Structure 1
Amino acid sequence: MAVGTYLLTALLAIIGYLLMKWRRTMRYWQELGIPCEEPHVFMGNMQGVRTKRSFSEIWTSYYKKFSGSGPFAGFYWFRRPAVFVLETSLAKQILIKDFNKFTDRGFFHNTEDDPLSGQLFLLDGHKWRSMRNKLSPTFTSGKMKYMFPTVLKVGHEFTDVFAQDVAKNPIIEVRELLARFTTDVIGTCAFGIECSSLKDPEAEFRVMGRRSVTEQRLGAIGLGFVNSFPNLARRLHMKMTEELIEKFFMRIVRETVAFREQNNIRRNDFMDQLIDLKNKPLMTSETGESVNLTIEEIAAQAFVFFAAGFETSSTTMGFALYELAQNQDIQNRVREEVLEVGQKYNGDLTYESLKDLVYLDQVISETLRLYTVLPVLNRECLEDFVVPENPKYVIKKGMPILIPAGAMHRDERLYPNPDQFNPDNFSADRVKQRDSVEWLPFGDGPRNCIGMRFGQMQTRLGLALLIKNFKFSVCEKTTIPMKYNKKLFLVASESGINLKVERV
């Protein structure tokens, strides 16, 4: 009896201790006197995510509520105290000036059980730095120029399919067509495979690409668990990637690598670069050992290039057309520029001609400001950091950091009339006057988007071909104001973008 009493007392003591620690964790910022919202006991300040609120809505409302209160506000990233950046000067410290203290994103990944999570975007520490150095040569301007004819070929097929659809019905849901275009571009450049999604909307690559973005293995509770207790989640062998998606991309990569190696085929594309890293040992600066990429690591990098490349570019083009349809004067000016540049280069677009599409580039930049596809930049602190000139504000080692780029882009202190679509925000004079961290659709510093050049190339080309050949305007089915998808981490329209389209 006495033993049972002791065990019960010990159990109650342990439970009491855990509850006290649990509560103390969720009082971290309040006790320091740092402004923050009261957190949900499990979801923190992420309550309602993917059900009642989109990720972007959470960042925007939090930024508006606490902007001006200090360099950052306290935030609870599910069960973890986190830093919510409010000033661009602090964003610059984190992304550029003190980058070595904030190299990691701190996202959950589990390469042992979930091989596609071993992608560059999710990797941390030495693994990220090593992979970034290996992949950087793939995205030079020289490699972009080499890939351009392939992108242009898909672009011409795209305008043909677009014209056929317009002939059947002038009301077009442009988002899906744009995704099929970028799927074929990325599939060809990354895998050397004719995806044929322009010809067949239900082509395997398009279906898997769509599912990789829209289908989540974990619900809100699971998402909260892996982000609150990442080490425990790994020990429990938890995964983020859907089984069917993992099997598809692993199979495609294995087949592609085997075919090229057996037939000695080279295309000088992204896959060739990955195969070289598999077969040619590279010395690591830290250990001096030779390291080759495994087939799983190849699949992870090919997967992120595909998934991120097709979705972000097609989404940006869709929002650009949405704004151009509402601003005919801007659309006409873009069309005049495209025609003028085309005449200068003998009637067709070339890689060199893209740099002359100055106003189109302003339109794309303004679209990325208003519709920042990745609305928050995540980092994790590697050592205690005191915010300069603000000794009260200390970022502790291991803390998640959120830089709400999308919310900052709509701050009237940075952009006058911030909700108005105005490409002149990116005229040469205004860009010169602006700090680089005031526009962050691709991030900034050493961990900015590695595929930025490729994304810009296919977006400029795709929009140039469309505006050259078609006129876009709003119709009864056009959703104004825009409604956003609540389930996706990226910014996307809730139910597509319907526009009236006419041949020019």
Structure 2
Amino acid sequence: MSVTYILLYLLIGVLSVAFYFVRKTFNYWKDRGIPYDEPHPIYGSFRGFRKDRVMQDIHFALYKKFKGVAPFVGIFFFQRPTAFILDRQLAKNILIKDFPVFADRGVYHNERDDPLTGHLFALDGVKWKQLRQKLSPTFTSGKMKFMFPTVVKVAEQFVHVLNDLLKEGNNFDVKELSARFTTDVIGTCAFGIECNSLKDPNAEFRTMGRKAFYLTRHNGPVMALIQSHPKWARKLGMRIVHQDIHNFFMRIVHETVELRESQNIKRNDFMDLLIELKKTKSIKLDNGEELTGLTVNEVAAQAFVFFLAGFETSSTAMSYTLYELAKNQVVQDKLRKEVNEVLAKHNQEFTYECMKEMHYLDQVLFEILRLYTIVPHLMRQPTRDYVVPGHPKLVIEKGTFVMIPSSAYHHDPEVYPEPAKFDPDRFSPEKVQDRDNINWLPFGDGPRNCIGLRFGKMQARIGLALLMKNFKFSVCEETQIPIVFDVKSFVLSAKDGIHLRVEKI
């Protein structure tokens, strides 16, 4: 038999096996008698993702199509069978009541070959649990109070820079300005480095921040395969963090740790807390588990995710807030009045306590996070088969990807009438009390909620309060109404920025 025939038979064999597994995968929900969305052979239920649709558009379509059909329906996250949770009570059970079953996220990570993916957001099982226990003390209200003056200092610099820019014109991309502000905040608090992004938009940290959300190591189909088959990808040593980004953050962290340890430098920032955890000796817990200190690579991974999550989500929320306030001058005036009254009570000194007194600011920010859900879904993965309460025939099998479409919940007219309308009164104390917490999930819920939510809200509050005190925002000729979202972004981001008119008060 010639070599040509042997290769041909091998090719046919490989294709046959591949076809069998693909068909078996795409029949997953059909074989179990569960309603499902017919999949695309590569993108599954996410046709058009990163091409002509953002993630929340896909969620809205699936939610509208299947709501009321069942507590959950089957979809395919690329080629990965996924339970799409429609019933909010089931979502609440998954996040809180039955959390021990759903402690894992099931997203791709490979700390051996791609160390920056070994962070708290991605890790599962015992590794996640131990890391969360180590890091939780660094995000207490006491620690936030300690970092508060640093954030205020950067926010005051933000005001000075914007005052200087106003000498040259009045129309600005507030999305870019907000990102430069939060980059400087996170750079200072996470790395102890003066990033100077506010003064220099091309500063290295700002450049890497942009790249981290748009620059991928692989093209769409390869990333789809990695996310669909994380165990195989991990065995193959696949990496997802782009090499430029990897090199930058590993270098910065290694240099910072070495400098601080050799010269005994203390800055009372997030990096200090991570270095202390690195020095921590093994601790025996009451349940018999053992906590060990962080490695340098683990320090780098936590600093990396803190930087990305901290600068992008907060800056995006700030820019959407300024956009809606520019369109709603009555709300803007009411918010500015509150800021000025609270600051007057505190002799114009922006203290941690006065920030907490700005209740209407919270209402505005909470409504923005509902209207523009920056991270549009929550992910979980059961560690054992899970029978849906009240539905004995509905089982989410062990290892099945679970998706909770928080952006769709946030736009359900049964919960939020006129969901596309910006209305901070939705978050008045009375209305919040009457509404189940599961209907507002920008930071998740339960034991695996966003560990940095206090910090994220703090820097956004400070930045917005000082901007309201010093400037008026309004729409201009370049303002895009409605906003067009960037399909290339992993989070809900405005394409081509958010341009507004800024005037000094």
Bucket of the pairwise TM-score, normalised by the shorter protein: over 0.9
Whether 2:310 is the aligned partner of 1:312: answer: no
Deviation per residue, 1:288-328 (Å, 9 max, x gap): 55622110000000011111100000000000011001110
The corresponding residue for 2:430 is 429
The corresponding residue for 1:177 is 177
The answer on whether the counterparts of 2:82 and 2:400 sit within 8 Å (CA) in structure 1 is yes
| CA drift at 1:183 | 0.6
Moved more, 337-346 or 249-258: 249-258
Moved more, 368-377 or 161-170: 161-170
Paired letter, 1:302: A
The corresponding residue for 2:415 is 414
The corresponding residue for 1:239 is 239
In structure 1, the residue corresponding to 2:167 is in which secondary structure?
helix
| CA drift at 1:208 | 1.1
Moved more, 83-92 or 29-38: 29-38
| CA drift at 1:485 | 0.8
The corresponding residue for 2:488 is 487
User: CA separation of 1:10/1:490 partners in 2, compared to 1, >3 Å: closer, same or farther?
Assistant: closer
In structure 2, the residue corresponding to 1:476 is in which secondary structure?
coil
The answer on whether the counterparts of 2:108 and 2:227 sit within 8 Å (CA) in structure 1 is yes
Moved more, 71-80 or 173-182: 71-80
Moved more, 236-245 or 30-39: 30-39
**TM-score normalised over the length of structure 2:** 0.96
Deviation per residue, 1:221-251 (Å, 9 max, x gap): 0111101221221222211111111111111
The answer on whether the counterparts of 1:274 and 1:298 sit within 8 Å (CA) in structure 2 is yes
Residues 313-352 of structure 1: pairs in structure 2 closer than 5 A: 313-352=314-353
The corresponding residue for 2:164 is 164
**Whole-angstrom CA distance in 1 between matches of 2:433 and 2:375:** 24
Please tell me the root mean square deviation across aligned C-alpha atoms, in Å: 2.0
**TM-score normalised over the length of structure 1:** 0.96
**Whole-angstrom CA distance in 2 between matches of 1:458 and 1:20:** 51
The answer on whether the counterparts of 2:187 and 2:193 sit within 8 Å (CA) in structure 1 is yes
The corresponding residue for 2:30 is 30
Paired letter, 2:237: H
- Count of aligned pairs between the two proteins: 504
Residues 368-383 of structure 1: pairs in structure 2 closer than 5 A: 368-383=369-384
Residues 243-392 of structure 1: pairs in structure 2 closer than 5 A: 243-283=243-283, 285=285, 288-289=289-290, 291-392=292-393
The answer on whether the counterparts of 1:116 and 1:296 sit within 8 Å (CA) in structure 2 is yes
User: CA separation of 1:5/1:453 partners in 2, compared to 1, >3 Å: closer, same or farther?
Assistant: closer
The answer on whether the counterparts of 2:80 and 2:228 sit within 8 Å (CA) in structure 1 is yes
| CA drift at 1:7 | 11
Moved more, 301-310 or 209-218: 209-218
The corresponding residue for 2:81 is 81
Paired letter, 1:389: G
Deviation per residue, 1:257-307 (Å, 9 max, x gap): 111111111122211111111112132547655622110000000011111
Residues 463-482 of structure 1: pairs in structure 2 closer than 5 A: 463-482=464-483
The corresponding residue for 2:395 is 394
**Whole-angstrom CA distance in 1 between matches of 2:6 and 2:167:** 81
The answer on whether the counterparts of 1:174 and 1:497 sit within 8 Å (CA) in structure 2 is yes
Residues 85-100 of structure 1: pairs in structure 2 closer than 5 A: 85-100=85-100
The answer on whether the counterparts of 2:213 and 2:490 sit within 8 Å (CA) in structure 1 is no
**Whole-angstrom CA distance in 2 between matches of 1:321 and 1:11:** 57
**Whole-angstrom CA distance in 1 between matches of 2:147 and 2:347:** 20
The answer on whether the counterparts of 1:316 and 1:364 sit within 8 Å (CA) in structure 2 is yes
**Whole-angstrom CA distance in 2 between matches of 1:136 and 1:247:** 28
The answer on whether the counterparts of 1:379 and 1:401 sit within 8 Å (CA) in structure 2 is yes
Moved more, 163-172 or 120-129: 163-172
Deviation per residue, 1:77-97 (Å, 9 max, x gap): 111211001111011010000
Moved more, 159-168 or 358-367: 159-168
The answer on whether the counterparts of 2:130 and 2:291 sit within 8 Å (CA) in structure 1 is no
| CA drift at 1:391 | 2.1
User: CA separation of 1:475/1:245 partners in 2, compared to 1, >3 Å: closer, same or farther?
Assistant: same
**Whole-angstrom CA distance in 2 between matches of 1:210 and 1:40:** 31
| CA drift at 1:450 | 0.3
Paired letter, 2:216: Q
In structure 1, the residue corresponding to 2:226 is in which secondary structure?
helix
In structure 2, the residue corresponding to 1:322 is in which secondary structure?
helix
**Whole-angstrom CA distance in 1 between matches of 2:142 and 2:291:** 27
Moved more, 62-71 or 419-428: 62-71
The corresponding residue for 2:153 is 153
| CA drift at 1:218 | 2.1
In structure 2, the residue corresponding to 1:471 is in which secondary structure?
strand
In structure 2, the residue corresponding to 1:167 is in which secondary structure?
coil
**Whole-angstrom CA distance in 2 between matches of 1:388 and 1:303:** 39
The answer on whether the counterparts of 1:130 and 1:284 sit within 8 Å (CA) in structure 2 is no
The corresponding residue for 1:226 is 226
In structure 2, the residue corresponding to 1:501 is in which secondary structure?
strand
- Structure 1, unaligned runs of 5 or more: none
The corresponding residue for 2:106 is 106
Paired letter, 1:435: D
Paired letter, 2:347: N
The corresponding residue for 2:500 is 499
The corresponding residue for 1:129 is 129
In structure 2, the residue corresponding to 1:168 is in which secondary structure?
coil
In structure 2, the residue corresponding to 1:74 is in which secondary structure?
strand
In structure 2, the residue corresponding to 1:82 is in which secondary structure?
strand
- Structure 2, unaligned runs of 5 or more: none
Paired letter, 1:413: E
The corresponding residue for 1:456 is 457
The answer on whether the counterparts of 2:340 and 2:469 sit within 8 Å (CA) in structure 1 is yes
In structure 1, the residue corresponding to 2:74 is in which secondary structure?
strand
| CA drift at 1:334 | 0.1
The corresponding residue for 1:55 is 55
Deviation per residue, 1:413-445 (Å, 9 max, x gap): 111111110001100011111111110000000
The answer on whether the counterparts of 2:338 and 2:358 sit within 8 Å (CA) in structure 1 is yes
Q: Where do 4+ consecutive residues of structure 1 move more than 6 Å?
A: 4-11
**Whole-angstrom CA distance in 2 between matches of 1:56 and 1:324:** 23
